[in-house]
Amino acid sequence: MKQSEGSTSHGRDDRVLDVRGLCTRYGTSQVLFNVDLHVPSHGSVAVLGRNGAGKTTLLKSIVGEVKPFRGAVAVRGRECTAAHTEQLVRLGLGYVPQDQAVFGGLTVAENLRVGAMGAPRGSGTMDQVLAMFPKLGRRLSQRAATLSGGERKMLAIGRALLSDPALLLLDEPTEGVWIAVVEEIAERLIALAQTRSVLLVEQHVDLALRVADYAYVLERGHIVLHGPSDEIRHHPDLYRYLAP
Amino acid sequence: MRGSARTLPAIEVLALLLATALPLILSQFQVIFLTRLLILSLLALSFDFAWGQGGVFSFGQGLFFGLGAYVAALLATRADMTSAFVAIPLAMLAGLVVASLFGGFLLLGRRPASLIYIGMATLAASYAAQRLAAGWSKIGGQNGVSGVPFPTLGGADLEPGRGFYYVALALLVAVYLAFRYLSRSQFGLVLAAARDNESRVGALGYRTAPYKWLVFALAGGVAGLSGGLSAFHEGFAGPNLLGVLTSTQAVLYVLVGGVGTLAGAVGGVFVMEYASLELSTRFASAWPVILGGILLLVIMFLPNGLIGAVISDRARMPTFGDRRAKPKRVPVDVSEEETVGSASA
């Protein structure tokens, strides 16, 4: 476990995502400072931090929604710092954003269909997604805007899975979700993390550390702590960094 | 209570039957008037496809309409090319090509233009084209191109009347069906998702700009077709056809009829033009004010247009995409269902 802003390697060579020295700002306000982060091709990683620490900006910088002014992002060894989100999806990246992740005016089936159409050949099927989130199967003809918060998150995750991504980026997948459904989503995420790499940004610390093998803690745009989840969980400074 | 999903197809079929039968019982004047409405319906459809389906606020459809009119008029008067099989497709092609180039500039850049920018840019282009045509003496300047001969179809003149009416109706039905098919296809599904949240469509692996560009180009082509027909029908092409008035007319037809339904665009043309005709005969000087007031009330109290009064929002939304890819329903344990159903955001 390390408590610095230096190298943050897992000690694994086969990385699906490599973020090096990432710096991002909105106007004149810098949000991320030299962020190094790596996700191995097998395993899951969590990013923790209090509100405003820069977690969502980090994911947006990785997927190309926000352009970093310094640093590099590589997916499966390919440099793609300036790439558009759709190009990254073609490289094997799936992204579930925090807000407005589903198309509210379309039905559940149409949301899934539009996800399946954009997926590369040989990707996952809708039936596999419905097997993972069977509750969606009862709501296929329902407009996504009328779903509960938990169902919307399930739909967004399921739709991202249709492209069979090598790396799934999840931004607060349990935010605004009823507590009983949080546990259900957590179980699915743990199962997902067995089959592909997951980069999870999450406020629920226990859930994140259960899902992820490795965790980073962001504090005001700096990586202040990182290491295997079991060690992070017991780190004496963890809750100091996460306290509101 | 507003209609079910079958209401819209029923309206479409009924309208087609009426449109086919009416010329047989109407006077020549009325048929010519109806032909004009069919031609304007093509213009309205072009705007509805661009805005209602593609989410591209093309406030300059007059540019492509007028361009098509000038191409047809100049071909007929200067090159003696009156064959409907040549002049009208070339008018359509002119609209398509110019819209492709203009749309490429607006939509395919590294930073695609915003909705407002597209609206302002297309409106400005429409106004600039009007000014250019008005000042260009080689194409008639302010007087435009008049004395456009009748188009020929199979060696015979196609004079305004029943013959022209059925040609215009056939073209309108063909364009309507093509747009209807596209808006209900997988292509339409991506556009519907993009209208909902464009950045999220990118997260699914799509680049939406080429989709919107194609919609804009096709809409330009149909506006050009409409303009070409108009030049032959009215025997005239002038600078005003390119300008702000024509562009605004297209927007108003669709706002009044209902955006994104195609049928609403056609209905908007018929309601507005009939209202104009009736009001102008009864109130010789005050009719534009009265018509403006009525349009304002419709837009304020029927935000989904006149068609929204008879068809629900969901009924207006088509079933999209490849039905072969429809997922299977998965049985769910009822107790689990209740748990999720009670969850809230």
SS3 A243: coil
B44 has a pLDDT exceeding 80 = yes
Q: How far is the C-alpha of A176 from the C-alpha of B132, rounded, in Å?
A: 57
- 3-state SS, B110-124, equals CCCCCHHHHHHHHHH
Q: How far is the C-alpha of A127 from the C-alpha of B116, rounded, in Å?
A: 41
Q: Give the right CATH number for B7-323 from 1.10.238, 1.10.1060, 1.20.120, 1.10.3470.
A: 1.10.3470
Give residue for tokens 């997916």: A75
Give the pTM. Answer: 0.86
Which pair of structure tokens corresponds to residue B211? 């989709």
Cβ separation B205–A84 shorter than 8 A: no
SS3 A148: coil
Residue type, B279: L
Give phi and psi for B343, each to the nearest 5: -70, 150
- Reported confidence tier of residue A37, pLDDT bands at 50, 70, 90: very high
Other beta carbons within 10 angstroms of residue B342's beta carbon come to 12
Tell me the domains of chain A and their CATH numbers: 15-242 (3.40.50.300)
The pLDDT tens digits of the residues spanning B295-331 come to 889 888 888 899 888 887 666 666 665 454 455 544 4
Q: Which residues contact A171 (CB under 8 A, 6 or more apart)?
A: A55, A56, A59, A95, A96, A97, A98, A201
Distance from CA of A26 to the nearest CA of B (A): 17
**Inter-CA distances, B326 with A113, A136, A140, B5, B331, Å:** 7, 13, 9, 19, 16
Q: How far is the C-alpha of A103 from the C-alpha of A94, rounded, in Å?
A: 16
B334 has a pLDDT exceeding 60 = no
CA-nearest residue of chain B to A95?
B203
A118 has a pLDDT exceeding 90 = no
Measured between beta carbons, the chain B residues lying within 8 angstroms of A97 are: 200, 203
Cβ separation A118–B340 shorter than 8 A: no
Res B312: pLDDT: 73
Mean pLDDT for B335-342 is: 40
A116 has a pLDDT exceeding 50 = yes
The pLDDT tens digits of the residues spanning B248-302 come to 999 999 999 999 989 999 999 999 999 999 999 998 888 889 988 988 898 888 8
- Which of B321, B179, B314 has its CA nearest to residue A104? B314
Q: How many residues does chain B have?
A: 345
B345 has a pLDDT exceeding 50 = no
Determine if residue A164 is left, alpha or beta; phi over 0 gives left, psi from -120 to 50 gives alpha, anything else beta. left
Query: Given B203, B328, B340, which is nearest A85 (Cβ)?
Result: B203
Q: Does residue A56 contact residue A64 with C-beta atoms inside 8 Å?
A: no
E strands, chain B, in order? 145-146, 152-153, 156-157, 236-237
A231 has a pLDDT exceeding 70 = yes
- For residue B236, list its beta bridge partners: B146
The pLDDT tens digits of the residues spanning B140-152 come to 999 999 999 999 9
Q: How many residues does chain A have?
A: 244
Res A119: pLDDT: 65
Distance from CA of A6 to the nearest CA of B (A): 31
